[in-house]
Amino acid sequence: MSLEMQLHVVASLLRRGRALDNLSTGVMLLGLALGLSQLWINTVSPLLLILVAAIVLIGLIEKYYAFRVAFDADLFQNIANDANQLNDRTVDLDHALITLGLLPVDKQTRSWAVRSQGALKLLRQQVLFLALELVLVLGAILIFPWLPFVH
């Protein structure tokens, strides 16, 4: 596979992070709704409050990874669109990122294969936090109906 095609494929995969982020937003809102629903039943469960706080915290961490993945998707797409000038564009990109404090100086000579692996690792971490968020919301949904009977 040519480097240009590899960059396009990585950019396309990274753009899928947006759908994951949208799902995470819905899951976080569902978690908040579960937490607020306690106000209607007159019993506040500390366990459910902890679960909701964890859901929101993990959702915010997922948002951080979603931001990073979207940023990388844009960068990969921009580089892939003009792959004929890959070396010059890579040097320019590294210089801009270093100037903005977004890239340590020692990472400026990485190959695009290594950069691709790093970007895909961020996408996998985003998926991991979304999965954790889903597990917590499902746990809260399964626990919540039984909470009034525990007291």
CA 123, 126, 127: angle at the middle one, nearest 5? 90
Identify whether 151 is part of a domain.
no
Identify whether 24 is part of a domain.
yes
pLDDT in tens, 74-110: 999 999 998 788 888 888 999 999 999 988 988 888 9
Identify whether 91 is part of a domain.
yes
Q: Say if residues 70 and 18 touch (Cβ distance below 8 Å).
A: yes
Residues spanned by the domain of 117: 3-146
Tell if the pTM clears 0.85, that is, is over it.
Answer: yes
Return left, alpha or beta for 74; rule: phi > 0 is left, psi -120 to 50 is alpha, else beta.
alpha
Number of compact structural domains in the chain = 1
pLDDT in tens, 6-31: 999 999 999 999 999 999 999 999 99
Identify whether 59 is part of a domain.
yes
Which residue from 49, 68, 55 is spatially nearest to 122, judged by alpha carbons?
Answer: 68
Identify whether 124 is part of a domain.
yes
Identify whether 103 is part of a domain.
yes
